[in-house]
């Protein structure tokens, strides 16, 4: 019997949710162990410190373009992971259209996930979608975040919804290897 997989978690003061979301997505998709996850973490840090000071990454986190760069230059070179950004440079979909797109994407194959950027009150956060239904999204999250109800999320600022999902910053990941 295999042990229940738990997400690696970030510290309260750091802005490493983007890096942790990459590692946790690879853990879900490629089933890597702790030793391999540690190597991936080190490789990501080595890569990002080429362009930015680690103090900036630790306090400010990573941007969507840096997320894309890490996936291309670090993850894809080691793991058979493909990704797409279906809403990059397109009009913003409604929350319902976005939600359906994620459901359809993830139900096509069990080796898929989405790295998602969201805002809530005074914070923004990268997380990994572990599963979802028509009513709720469940996360594999570095800050212990668990669930968002569909009715409490939106894709446009100024709505009365609690969570602002950012479709243009969503990364749809597929694992193409053998487990």
The string of pLDDT tens digits covering residues 117-151 is 999 887 899 999 999 999 999 999 998 889 999 99
Distance of CA 74 to the CA centre of its chain: 15
Task: Write down the pLDDT at residue 2.
Answer: 57
If DSSP codes are grouped into helix, strand and coil, which group holds residue 109?
A: coil
pLDDT tens, position by position, 76-100: 999 999 999 999 988 889 999 999 9
Domains of the chain in start order, with CATH, are 17-175 (3.90.70)
H/E element, 36: helix 34-48
Place of tokens 């999320």: 153
CA distance 94 to 80: 31
CA distance 97 to 66: 26
- Is the pTM value of this prediction over 0.85? yes
CA distance 95 to 97: 6
């Amino acid at each position: 019997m295999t042990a229940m997989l738990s997400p690696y978690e970030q510290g309260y003061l750091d802005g490493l949710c983007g890096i942790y979301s990459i590692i946790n997505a690879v853990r879900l998709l490629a089933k890597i162990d702790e030793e391999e996850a540690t190597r991936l973490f080190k490789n990501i840090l080595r890569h990002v410190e080429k362009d930015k000071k680690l103090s900036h990454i630790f306090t400010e986190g990573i941007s969507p373009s840096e997320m894309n760069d890490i996936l291309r230059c670090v993850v894809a070179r080691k793991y058979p992971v493909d990704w797409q950004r279906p809403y990059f440079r397109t009009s913003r979909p409604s929350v319902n259209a976005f939600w359906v797109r994620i459901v359809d994407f993830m139900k096509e194959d069990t080796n898929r996930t989405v790295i998602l950027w969201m805002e809530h009150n005074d914070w923004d956060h990268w997380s990994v979608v572990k599963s979802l239904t028509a009513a709720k999204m469940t996360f594999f999250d570095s800050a212990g975040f668990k669930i968002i109800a569909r009715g409490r999320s939106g894709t446009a600022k100024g709505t009365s919804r609690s969570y602002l999902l950012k479709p243009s910053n969503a990364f749809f990941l597929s694992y193409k290897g053998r487990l």
